[in-house]
Amino acid sequence: MGGRGGPRAPRGRVRDAALAGGALLVVPASSLKSLVAASAEPWTATAFSWTLIFLACGALYFGRRYPVTVAAFVLVTTAVYYVTSVHDGGLMIAVIVALYLVAAAGRLQAAVVLAALTVICTGTGTLLGNKDVNGVALFMLTGWVVAMVALGWVRYSRLAYLREAERSAAGEERLRIARELHDVVGHHLSLINVQAGTSLHRFHRDPAQGEAALTAIKESSREALRDLRATLGVLRQADEEAPTAPAPGLDRIGELIGSARSAGLTVHSRLAGAADAPTEVGLAAYRIVQESLTNVSRHASAAEVTVSVEHGPGELRIEVADDGPGQGVSPGAPGSGLDGMRERARALGGELTAGPGPGGGFLVRARLPYPAPGRTGAVVR
């Protein structure tokens, strides 16, 4: 597997350790004055201050998993540090980082409360006589706090959007695969069921017809396995070779008609496919005819069906009409596939209608538009 160019940002525990390690480098470096300068406080106070520094910076390692708890701990530790130490170190950096982690975790309300406490506590110290933080420094600190909370929230919102987009794409892919499986498996199993019933009914009275039905079952099973393997090819891993079998299209609609005839239906067809029709249009036309014939075999109680696939100006027109009672199946009924056919047509900017025909029976009519139309001669069978 080829690697992707460019360095990758650390993830998981490595990222947590890098964050805490960075703070442990920057904050102590800004507090070295308490060690190298003339001692202005007992060494026990200095040791206590450095303990607070390491506790606050080290706590950032857990900031991604427990953002609010860690931020509150860092804020309290920092407050104790500035109250007990005479040295003005850079421990406020740890507080700002902790606030970013809270906002980046989606806890905006908690981040705002902790940010307000940070500014209020710092301002209170200034009012009580802290000469290290004046009005300008307090204003700059407020800006840093607001900016880090905002950045954390922006990151959270962006990741939430990306996750939602991934879930939506995954849902659409599942629906597409389910529709393909329904069309492939439903069509062939329906034909196999009809052919098996024919074989059982005629086997003893007419062995020749029973044998022909069994042969048709064998062919339908082979077609079902082939189409099923091609459909499941989309589930291959990224490092596997993509399936090379072409998607079914206009050139295989004749196979569907032959399968329907072998199931006992009388099929009249008029096929005038467009030579330059895009692959997705051919696939949609194939699946619409396939599902329509499947519904005729399952539900229509029809003896004859007419399949028409004709090329018009910049579009493909499909009609499948049977001579059954005309009730068909209701939209949304389990296994009907009408909704799936409509989705295929709409995805290409077309439309599909299904209902009782004007002269009786059930009629499915679809229009699939596409650019740069071409024309081929019609073949009447």
Sign of CA dihedral 122, 127, 129, 135: positive
Q: Can you tell me which residue has the tokens 């998993």?
A: 65
Asked if residue 329 belongs to a domain, the reply is yes
Asked if residue 337 belongs to a domain, the reply is yes
Q: Can you tell me which residue has the tokens 């953002």?
A: 67
Contact 118, 145 (CB under 8 A): yes
Q: What is the pTM of this model?
A: 0.48
What is the phi/psi pair of residue 369, to 5°? -80, 155
In what helix (H) or strand (E) does residue 364 lie, and over which residues does it extend? strand 362-369
Q: Which residue, of 65, 99, 133, is where some domain finishes?
A: 133
Each residue's pLDDT tens digit, 222-260? 676 666 666 666 555 444 444 455 667 888 888 888 888
Token output for 14: 């490595």
310: β partners = 317
pLDDT values of the chain reduced to their tens digit, one per residue, 381 residues: 444 444 455 566 888 888 888 888 888 777 776 666 556 667 787 788 888 888 988 888 888 889 999 989 989 988 888 888 777 777 888 888 899 999 988 888 888 898 888 888 877 766 665 556 566 777 787 888 888 889 988 988 888 888 888 777 777 767 767 676 666 666 666 667 666 766 666 666 666 666 676 777 777 776 766 666 666 665 554 444 444 556 678 888 888 888 888 777 888 888 876 556 788 888 888 889 988 888 887 766 778 899 999 887 888 999 999 888 766 554 444 445 788 888 888 888 899 999 888 888 889 999 999 875 444 444 444
Q: Which residue, of 133, 164, 187, is where some domain finishes?
A: 133
d(Cα 334, Cα 188) in Å, to the nearest integer? 17
Asked if residue 200 belongs to a domain, the reply is no
Number of domains the chain is built from: 2
Domain encompassing residue 284: 248-381
In the three-class reduction of DSSP (H, G, I as helix; E, B as strand; rest coil), residue 354 is classed as strand
Each residue's pLDDT tens digit, 278-330? 888 888 888 899 888 888 877 667 788 999 998 878 889 999 998 887 665 54
